[in-house]
Amino acid sequence: MDAGATAEGGGHADLILGIESSCDETAAALLDRDGRVVASVVRSQIDLHRSFGGVVPEIAGRSHVEHMLPVVEETFARAGRKPSDLAAIAVTVQPGLIGSLLVGVSTAKAMALALGVPLVPVDHVAAHVHSCFHGVAEPEFPSACLVASGGHSTLFEVVSPTKHVKRGETIDDAAGEAFDKVAAILGLGYPGGPIVDRMAQAGDARRFKFPRSLMAKESLDFSFSGIKTAVLYHCRGQDGRGKRTLDEQEVRDVCAAFQEAVVDVLIEKLSRLAARIGARSIAVGGGVAANRRLRERAGQLAQERGVALRLAPRELTTDNAVMVAGLGRLLFAEGVRAGLDLDAHARAVAPAPSHSP
Ligand code: KG4
Ligand code: ZN
C-alpha cells in the first residue's frame, strides 16, 4: 500500500463508485458488492466539440470541471444511496487528456479523503477490456481481446479478469479516429463512426477497394492512416484538394468499402492472436465495438474457431464509468490501493494494475 493511503471504509459500506473523465464523457457509476450496476450516469460533451470536428482538450477539461460533481450527485440520487455507503472509489488515471483526467482524479481524491475510503487506480483501456466480461460469471480465458476506440486500437491476451497482456497496437491512427476522419472527408459530421456505420448499411462494399494494411505476416500491430489517405485521394484526387461531388450512393459505397477494409484488418489480427494464444473466447470492446459489421464479423470468427463470443454490451462500448467501477471492484478485492499522492498520466505508465506493457 502506498504511503498516505486512506483508511478502509467499514460498517455496511458496500458500494464501489467509479469515476471516468479521460476524454469527452463525464461519467460516474455505483456498483454493489456483487458487481451489479446500482446507477450509472454518462454526460457526453459531443455537442460542445461537434463544430470543431473533434475533441478540443481545453473545452473538455473545463466541461468536466463543470459537470463532475453534478454527475456524481445524480448517480447517488438515482441509486437512492449516500456517499457514506461507499467501500471504495475507483478512478481512471491513464491514458487520456491530462486536463480531463485530473478532474476525475482530483474529485476521487477529495472524496476519498473526506469519506475515509480507499482509492483504486484504473487504466482506461483495461476498463474497456473489462467491459467485455462485465457480469459474466465465468469468462473463458485466455481471451483474444480487441479494444478499438477513438484513441486506441489494441490487442490483449486476457489471462485473467485483472491480467491483460498487450500483444499489438496501432502504429498511427486508432480505428475510431479513422472512422471520424473519413466521415469528415465525406462531410458527414462528428463523431463519424455511428454515421459511417449507418451509411454503410445501404452501401456496396465491393464497389471500391481500399488498402488493407496487414504489415508483416506475424505482426499484431495496426496501421490505419493508409486507408484514410486512400479515401481522401478517392474523394479529392491525388493532391487531396480537388472538390469532386460524390452522389449519395457513392458516399454510401465509400463508407461500406472503407468500413469493410478496417474491419478486415481488425478481424485478421484478432484471428491471428486467437490462434497464437489458443483463445477460448473472442472479445471486442471500445467505441468501435458498437459497429454492426465488426460485431457480425467477430461473431463469425468466434463461430469458426468454436469459441465463446464476448462483445461489450452496446451501452458499455463508448466511455462510461461502469467499466471503471467494475474493474476497480476486482482490483480492490486483490488489494490494489492508491495513496492521496495519486497522479494522472496522459500516456500509460507502468506499473498500472491489470495492464502489462
Ligand atoms: O471508447 P470511446 O467512447 O472513446 C475513446 O476512448 O476513444 O470511442 C469513441 C470512438 C469514436 O471514434 C467513434 O466514432 C467510434 O468510437 N464509434 C464507432 C461507432 N460508434 C462509435 N465507430 C464505428 N462504428 C460505430 N458504430
Ligand atoms: Zn475509451
Is 140-311 the same fold as 3-129+317-355? yes
What grid cell was written down for 173?
491512427
Rounded to an integer, what distance in angstroms lies between the CA atom of residue 64 and that of residue 54? 16
Which residue among 124, 179, 180 is best mutated to probe the pocket of ligand 1, counting the most ligand atoms within 8 A of its Cβ? 179
pLDDT of 350 reads 65
Q: How confident is the model at residue 349 (pLDDT cuts 50, 70, 90)?
A: confident
Q: What does pTM read for this prediction?
A: 0.93
**Ligand 1 centroid distance, CA of 176 (Å):** 5
173 close to ligand 1 (CB < 6 Angstrom): no
User: Contact, 193 vs 176, CB < 8 A?
Assistant: yes
- For 3-129+317-355, the fitting CATH number among 3.40.50.300, 3.30.420.40, 3.10.450.50, 3.20.20.140 is 3.30.420.40
Q: How many residues does the chain have?
A: 357
- Sorted by where each begins, the domain ranges of the chain are 3-129+317-355, 140-311
Residue 155: CB atoms within 10 Å: 24
**Ligand 2 centroid distance, CA of 320 (Å):** 8
55 phi, psi to nearest 5 deg: -75, 125
**Ligand 2 centroid distance, CA of 20 (Å):** 9
> How does strand 25-31 pair with strand 37-44?
antiparallel
Instruction: Give the ligand with the smallest distance to the CA of 194.
Output: 1
Q: What is the Cα 347 distance to its own chain's centre?
A: 15
pLDDT digits (tens, 9 = 90+) for 174-225: 999 999 999 999 999 988 999 999 999 999 999 999 999 887 888 999 999 9
DSSP secondary structure letters along 6-72? PPPP-TT--EEEEEE-SSSEEEEEEE-TTS-EEEEEEEE-HHHHGGGTS--HHHHHHHHHHHHHHHH
pLDDT digits (tens, 9 = 90+) for 108-166: 999 999 999 999 999 999 999 999 999 999 999 999 999 999 999 999 999 999 999 99
User: Distance from first CA to last CA of the chain, Å, rounded?
Assistant: 22
DSSP secondary structure letters along 198-221? HHHHTS-TTSS-------STT---
Candidates 224, 256, 215, 99; CA nearest to 151 is 224
**Ligand 1 centroid distance, CA of 177 (Å):** 8
Protein residue whose Cα sits closest to atom 3 of ligand 1: 318
Ligand 1 atom with the smallest distance to the CA of 292 is 26
CATH class, domain 140-311, is alpha beta
Which residue among 288, 294, 324 is best mutated to probe the pocket of ligand 1, counting the most ligand atoms within 8 A of its Cβ? 288
Q: Rounded to 5 degrees, what angle do the CA atoms 299, 134, 103 make?
A: 120
**Ligand 2 centroid distance, CA of 286 (Å):** 6
Residues, CB within 5 angstroms of ligand 2 (ion): 149, 319
What grid cell was written down for 188?
458527414
